[in-house]
Amino acid sequence: DDVVGRTKVYEAIVKGDDTFEAGIPESFNVLVKEMRSLGLNVELKSIEDGDGLAEAAE
């Protein structure tokens, strides 16, 4: 559970600011740690498009 992220989203909603960006879900971080504990080398990378925005790798 991402307590800090949830608090930031709640504060943004209360203030009427809807320009926040979603981060990596904590469940994904748990999955990566589980894979590493099995001896799998997992590296996270992002691909940036022409606008400088990160896209998910296919």
Question: Residues 22-56: pLDDT tens digits?
Answer: 678 888 989 999 999 999 998 888 776 666 555 55
How far apart CA 28 and CA 15 sit, in angstroms, is 29
Q: Quick check: pTM over 0.85?
A: no
HSE of 29 in the Cβ direction (CA atoms, 13 Å)? 6
Largest CA distance in the chain: 45
Residues 6 or more apart whose Cβ sits within 8 Å of residue 55: 46, 47, 48, 49
User: 44 with 32: CB under 8 angstroms?
Assistant: yes
Q: Where are the domains of the chain?
A: 3-55
